[in-house]
């Protein structure tokens, strides 16, 4: 039963079906509401899916990032390099973990962080890098891993938009010291609510993360650290187990939709399609993002015709008011990220969208846009 929000063709359409409802009902009737058996089973299955030894669930993707950083010992004297073109939760997590975010610009022809620009931004204080697999497109993980290993720093993957994406046969989340995922309602899998997941092969990091997410406990009434209450609830975990079994099928549907958009929008005037997939890369198209010199007019044109579009993201992180005030960033600091913010537009994509709907959206994108 798809959920819609007033548009004839919505940007996304979360799926809730009978099997998910049944899983939720069974967990409510038979398990502890907090940290029930489904949570631990979901963690085991998610780790197996990603190809890691451990998975630790959290209350959100943002919490996953913050707890991952703290579990790796990142603190106030450290800098963490990430992208200025992403949702600002990534860099907020760095600040809340006590460290300082440091930005490097994106690739010339893509959306993701540029490894060469990261290397040029390293300082003696750099402790970690966080590549983001933006829109479901894997970042250049081999280069980032080589850089991290060469410089003796940690790599944390922000895979919050890239569940199931692969590069050279490996799923994202398994390249770094830690990988972080989000189950927010817009993501490729949602657990019908919110939540996050940390994956790692490091037993100590996993144990520390489990403590952080549960009030910093060492045991029921003893503390090992100052922690949080950031647990995935049992009902969401039960639903997540159902969704995880379907994730590959849903991702394959997204890839098919993206390919149809590419065919329908080839040579569309004034529209630049997402970068072509690289050899060995399997993106999962959390979003299908085009670029247009007339982005705002195109978005309004689509809206007037019942199609929901969105801008991910209209303001680069370094130009958000709190970052400008705190770090004194100004326009022109990261020109490629700033250019993307002026031109990107997300078109509807989700497993339930029909070919007819994709063609309708494509016809509107190709049609003359009123000035």
Question: Could you give the percent of the chain with pLDDT greater than 90?
Answer: 95
In a domain, 96, yes or no: yes
- Residue 370: pLDDT band with limits 50, 70, 90: confident
Condensed to tens digits (0 to 9), the pLDDT of residues 247-277 reads 999 999 999 999 999 999 999 999 999 999 9
Condensed to tens digits (0 to 9), the pLDDT of residues 269-328 reads 999 999 999 899 999 999 999 999 999 999 999 999 999 999 999 999 999 999 999 999
Per the structure, the complete domain to which residue 210 belongs is given by 18-241
Choose one of 241, 260, 280: the last residue of a domain: 241
Choose one of 241, 260, 282: the last residue of a domain: 241
In a domain, 184, yes or no: yes
In a domain, 75, yes or no: yes
The mean pLDDT of 326-336, rounded to a whole number, is 97
In a domain, 12, yes or no: no
Q: What pLDDT was estimated at residue 371?
A: 72
In this predicted structure, the answer to whether residue 231 has a pLDDT above a threshold of 80 is yes
Choose one of 241, 263, 281: the last residue of a domain: 241
In a domain, 46, yes or no: yes
157 bridge partner residues: 179
- Residue 197: pLDDT band with limits 50, 70, 90: very high
Residues 25 and 149 placed together within one structural domain of the fold = yes
Residues 361 and 226 placed together within one structural domain of the fold = no
- Residue 3: pLDDT band with limits 50, 70, 90: very low
Residues 34 and 177 placed together within one structural domain of the fold = yes
Structure tokens at 92: 């907020």
Residues 139 and 39 placed together within one structural domain of the fold = yes
In a domain, 3, yes or no: no
In a domain, 86, yes or no: yes
Residues 211 and 253 placed together within one structural domain of the fold = no
Residues 122 and 236 placed together within one structural domain of the fold = yes
Residues 62 and 209 placed together within one structural domain of the fold = yes
Condensed to tens digits (0 to 9), the pLDDT of residues 154-177 reads 999 999 999 999 999 999 999 999
> At 129, which CATH number?
3.40.640.10
In this predicted structure, the answer to whether residue 96 has a pLDDT above a threshold of 70 is yes
Residues 199 and 268 placed together within one structural domain of the fold = no
Q: What pLDDT was estimated at residue 5?
A: 58
In a domain, 371, yes or no: no
Residues 49 and 123 placed together within one structural domain of the fold = yes
Residues 68 and 109 placed together within one structural domain of the fold = yes
The widest CA-to-CA distance across the chain, in whole angstroms, is 66
> At 258, which CATH number?
3.90.1150.10
CA distance 21 to 96: 35
144 bridge partner residues: none
- Classify residue 371 as exposed, middle or buried by CB count within 10 Å of its CB (0-12, 13-18, 19+): exposed
Residues 269 and 153 placed together within one structural domain of the fold = no
The residues near 160 (Cβ < 8 Å, ≥ 6 apart) are 61, 64, 65, 87, 89, 132, 180, 181, 182, 184, 187, 196
| Structural domain count of the chain | 2
200 bridge partner residues: 54, 178
Q: What pLDDT was estimated at residue 1?
A: 43
Position of tokens 């927010």? 184
Residues 361 and 311 placed together within one structural domain of the fold = yes
Condensed to tens digits (0 to 9), the pLDDT of residues 111-166 reads 999 999 999 999 999 999 999 999 999 999 999 999 999 999 999 999 999 999 99
């Amino acid at each position: 039963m798809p959920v819609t929000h007033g548009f004839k063709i919505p940007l996304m359409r979360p799926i809730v079906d009978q099997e998910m409802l049944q899983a939720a009902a069974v967990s409510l009737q038979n398990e502890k509401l907090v940290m029930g058996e489904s949570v631990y089973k979901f963690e085991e299955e998610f780790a197996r899916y990603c190809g890691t030894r451990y998975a630790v669930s959290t209350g959100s993707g943002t919490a996953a990032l913050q707890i991952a950083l703290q579990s790796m010992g990142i603190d106030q004297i450290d800098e963490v390099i990430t992208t200025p073109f992403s949702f600002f939760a990534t860099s907020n997590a760095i600040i809340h973990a006590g460290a300082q975010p440091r930005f490097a610009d994106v690739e010339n022809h893509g959306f993701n962080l540029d490894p060469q620009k990261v290397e040029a931004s390293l300082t003696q204080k750099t402790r970690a890098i966080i590549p983001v697999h933006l829109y479901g497109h894997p970042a250049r993980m081999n280069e980032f891993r080589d850089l991290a290993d060469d410089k003796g720093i940690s790599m944390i993957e922000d895979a919050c938009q890239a569940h199931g994406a692969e590069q050279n046969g490996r799923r994202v989340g398994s390249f770094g010291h830690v990988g972080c995922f989000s189950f927010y309602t817009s993501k490729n899998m949602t657990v019908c609510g919110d939540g996050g997941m940390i994956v790692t092969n490091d037993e100590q990091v996993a144990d520390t993360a489990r403590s952080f997410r549960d009030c910093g406990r060492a045991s029921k009434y003893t503390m090992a650290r100052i922690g949080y209450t950031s647990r995935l609830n049992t009902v969401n975990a039960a639903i997540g187990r159902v969704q995880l079994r379907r994730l590959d099928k849903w991702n394959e549907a997204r890839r098919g939709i993206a390919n149809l958009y590419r065919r329908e929008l080839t040579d569309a005037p004034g529209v630049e399609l997402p970068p072509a997939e690289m050899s060995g890369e399997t993106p999962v198209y959390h979003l299908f993002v085009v670029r247009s010199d007339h982005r705002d007019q195109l978005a309004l044109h689509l809206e007037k015709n019942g199609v929901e579009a969105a801008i991910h993201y209209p303001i680069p992180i370094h130009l958000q008011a709190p970052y400008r005030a705190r770090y004194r960033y100004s326009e022109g600091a990261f020109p490629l990220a700033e250019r993307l913010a002026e031109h990107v537009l997300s078109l509807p994509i989700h497993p339930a969208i029909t070919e007819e709907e994709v063609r309708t959206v494509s016809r509107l994108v190709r049609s003359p846009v009123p000035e």
